[in-house]
Amino acid sequence: MQNKQIVIDTDEQEFTFNVTGQAYNKYLNSTTPTNKIQPATNFLLATVDDAQKKELKALLQQPGAALHMVGTVIEDYTPEFNFSVKKSKSEPSE
């Protein structure tokens, strides 16, 4: 998987995230229907530039910030896919 540097601009400052395939997979594997905030926070703090961790921790105290920011980072990290299901010729037409 690719490594990618992603810069997110907030009203206050920019944050630089260094996302790796391993960090991305760890985030996805740790997210459950009842546990979304902590994996998002962990992912963001693990991938942000070290010099920006203190400021990011403060920002992530705001309700919804972790989920909104992780969504933005993940959306930029993942490539676009165009997958579709091809119908089998043996299936009857509708």
- 86, part of any domain: no
DSSP SS3 for 5: strand
At 27, which CATH number?
A: 3.30.2220.10
Predicted TM-score of the model (pTM): 0.85
The 10s digit of each residue's pLDDT in 36-77 is 999 999 999 999 999 999 999 999 999 999 999 999 999 999
What does the alpha-carbon distance between residue 59 and residue 74 come to, in Å, rounded to a whole number? 18
Please say whether the beta carbons of 8 and 17 come within 8 A.
yes
Per-residue pLDDT for 16 more than 80? Answer: yes
Residue 92 in any domain: the answer is no
Q: How many domains does the chain have?
A: 1
Question: Which token pair is 36?
Answer: 């979304």
**Residue 15, domain extent:** 4-77
pLDDT at 87: 85
Beta bridge partners of 51: none
